A and B are shown apart, each in its own frame.
Chain A
């Protein structure tokens, strides 16, 4: 990225992480959770958050050791030049893949729900261009942009959840450890993978005013994003019940629709 100016506060860094983590993963999340453990979905999600937090803490600790460099830069010092470049390439490809999946999925959402006759390519290209134009800014602006959109992301989702809770049935959530705890491990890993975006922390750290706060940043961001995920899963299972959630993708829409409105962020 551009020359880091060290202007990102801990709050902004948290916003970057939260808004990166919460993304298209919201749509299949309840399905994943229910597939893994039926009514134990919320528990699985919670454990996945812990799992993701552990991973993120490692990344944060690593980044704090090299507060002036991005992962691409310090990996050269850690494992040598060429291996580092290979790893860097992997990171780039990984994010490209993640972006393309996200764009594709949101494009499909737009095509199914809003613009029914528009080819998905058009919506995806427009979205990618929007992201590309916004990404050309400095690191600080990048943080500002995320910070600006986080409330627009959280508030509608929370509103929808709160409004939907009147249809929720406490019984739907029991037993909380699920009827088939065996599949839990797999589910935890799957859902923890939805937190991959948090890897962006390695690029944000060099721009942070106080890199030492990276630990707190990762903790808070997982708390917010993971908390939202858990609440979404609770709401979906509470309203629809585990079987119905597993059976129909309709359930996704219940929790996902608010996100569609808000999720058209860069």
Chain B
């Protein structure tokens, strides 16, 4: 009996899959599972139960219920009672199996075909399938299904009874909107797919399920639009997911780290979201969504940089306001990256760049501060990061108190004590608030991180250093790719159609085509007649409006 679990990582992916398909490399037989490996069932009930005992050892939650089908054939039902609803089990399986339903003549039933006929004639349960493979049984049991086996039958029935308690569908905590749907993903896969499918009632929506994680056997579902998503992209997603070989996938974040293009880059190359509407929008643009059982966050690939400052409201609210707000968000993004660095370089190298009166005020504020500007800024920045991290970890009731103590009291006291100048505190506060304005937490993290090297290089080289640092960052961004898509698309390489959704959010009737960098097979998004709002559309010449199809 080979110890599959310890060796699968040595085999190529293909051979592993073949083995799995052949039912050889069972999930529970791996390594420490003991010598109760796979193989076919032989029809002896005692033997099956004994093997089950060997696999699950002394585990006390596995329940074996012995009974007689129709009072004649000895049978047993195996299940983990905590993973299913026992009432359903009693009503839809046990009851019809023990007492033959009215009008069913079971006199000519024989043991070998017993379970097959039971499934098709007696059981009142929709999800039934027979299996002859012991490993499949074990896997089904672990999944929360019920196994029904009978003496003399070489097949066993696997009945899908899984029912895991889940929390209610709730507002997405990390992506709140003022205008837009209020539903967020929950942990189990089923409701999440339902949330997507009820929004996107298209036959082209495809889901493809695979299992990742040698021990956790996590279900991973790849969602895409048939006839729209680029097949090459799909193949690449499959290739990367297939190559993953770890023992546990506890969240989609685990997958992200295995499928992203450049692990060393501070910038995230995969977007995550807990909003089903966002997933649907991305699917319709030609992207691929990856959901993991047990994670309320779906991954979306490929991801380009501009997605990180786009929010759902950009599209649900009217375009003019949201274009302005998006630009404000961009300013905040730039703020959070360069503001302290520019401050440091101006103060330490080029004070002549600020107006004299203000320069005097700044110098006055810094009079008692014992360190150079760069050290001062670094100290305050680091303390700010500490405060921020502390507020995240604290229980909610205490959090408010800490932020008041932290921000108000410490900031004020630091200035009063001559530890930092007031203008520094202002700068750092602006920076921190700026980094909160970025909708994507992981992108904000990247900029937060990059701020520090930028401050240091500004302390050494001044504005020249800031330029060098920014150019390095820009060049890095330009060299990044997410699943083959350049990270700064549609800005570079330029695409006029895509530009309508970069700096501003163009009106929906402008954005007639899906983003080209995703290479969708069907590019038309908005009908050709939607050149202008319906109001002016019907009026023709009398309105003062020319067709607003002009590019910006």
Listed in ascending order, the chain A residues whose CB lies under 8 Å from chain B are 9, 11-12, 110, 114-115, 118, 123, 126-127, 130, 133-134, 137-138, 141, 144-145, 147-148, 264-266
Contact = CB atoms under 8 A, between A and B. Distances in A.
Interface string B490-520: 0111100000000000000000000000000
Nearest to A264: B467
B350 interface: yes
A9 B492 CA distance: 11
Contact of A147 (B464, B467, B472, B494): B494
B479 interface: yes
B350 A114 contact: yes
A118 B493 CA distance: 37
Secondary structure class of chain A's binding surface, majority of residues: helix
A264 B468 contact: yes
18 contacts: A110-B464, A114-B464, A115-B349, A126-B468, A130-B468, A130-B472, A134-B471, A134-B472, A141-B478, A144-B478, A144-B486, A144-B492, A144-B493, A145-B475, A147-B494, A148-B488, A148-B492, A265-B471
B463 interface: yes
Given A144-B493, A145-B478, A148-B478, A130 B462 contact: no
Contacts of A110: 464
Contact of A12 (B461, B488, B493): B493
Nearest to A140: B486
A265 B491 CA distance: 18
A133 B488 CA distance: 19
Given A144-B478, A147-B492, A148-B488, A115 B471 contact: no
B474 interface: yes
Nearest to B350: A114
Nearest to B477: A148
Contact of A114 (B462, B475, B479): B462
Contacts of B462: 114-115
Given A115-B464, A123-B464, A133-B475, 7 more contacts: A114-B464, A126-B468, A137-B475, A138-B479, A141-B479, A145-B479, A148-B478
A9 B493 contact: yes
A147 B475 CA distance: 11
Nearest to A265: B471
Contact of B494 (A11, A130, A134, A265): A11
Contacts of A134: 471-472, 475
Given A9-B493, A141-B479, A148-B478, A115 B468 contact: no
B476 to A, nearest CB: 9
Given A115-B349, A123-B464, A147 B493 contact: yes
A39 to B, nearest CB: 36
A180 B474 CA distance: 47
A133 B464 contact: no
Contacts of A145: 474-475, 478-479
Contacts, number: 60
Contacts of B349: 114-115
A145 to B, nearest CB: 5
A238 to B, nearest CB: 29
Contacts of B467: 264
Contacts of B474: 145, 148
A266 B475 contact: yes
Contact of A266 (B463, B471, B494): B471
Nearest to A7: B493
Contacts of A137: 475, 478-479
Contacts of B479: 137-138, 141, 144-145
Nearest to A8: B493
Contacts of B493: 9, 12, 144, 147
Nearest to A126: B468
A135 B161 CA distance: 59
B107 to A, nearest CB: 74
Q: Which of B467, B474, B493 has the most chain A CB atoms inside 10 A of its CB?
A: B493
List the 8 closest pairs (A to B, CB-CB), nearest first.
A141-B479, A134-B475, A144-B478, A137-B479, A144-B492, A264-B467, A148-B492, A145-B478
A24 to B, nearest CB: 16
A90 to B, nearest CB: 29
A265 B474 CA distance: 10
Given A12-B493, A130-B471, A264 B464 contact: yes
Nearest to B481: A141
Given A12-B493, A114-B464, A115-B462, A264 B486 contact: no
A127 to B, nearest CB: 8
A180 B479 CA distance: 50
A109 to B, nearest CB: 10
A126 B461 contact: yes
Contacts of B472: 130, 133-134
B76 to A, nearest CB: 61
B548 to A, nearest CB: 25
A144 to B, nearest CB: 4
A161 B462 CA distance: 27
A224 to B, nearest CB: 15
Nearest to A111: B464
Given A115-B461, A141-B479, A264 B492 contact: no
B291 to A, nearest CB: 32
A241 to B, nearest CB: 30
A45 B464 CA distance: 31
Contacts of A138: 479
A148 B479 CA distance: 11
A114 B492 contact: no
B416 to A, nearest CB: 34
A262 to B, nearest CB: 10
Contacts of B492: 144, 147-148
A87 to B, nearest CB: 31
A148 B488 CA distance: 10
Contacts of A133: 472, 475
Contacts of B464: 110, 114-115, 123, 126, 264
A114 B467 CA distance: 12
A213 to B, nearest CB: 15
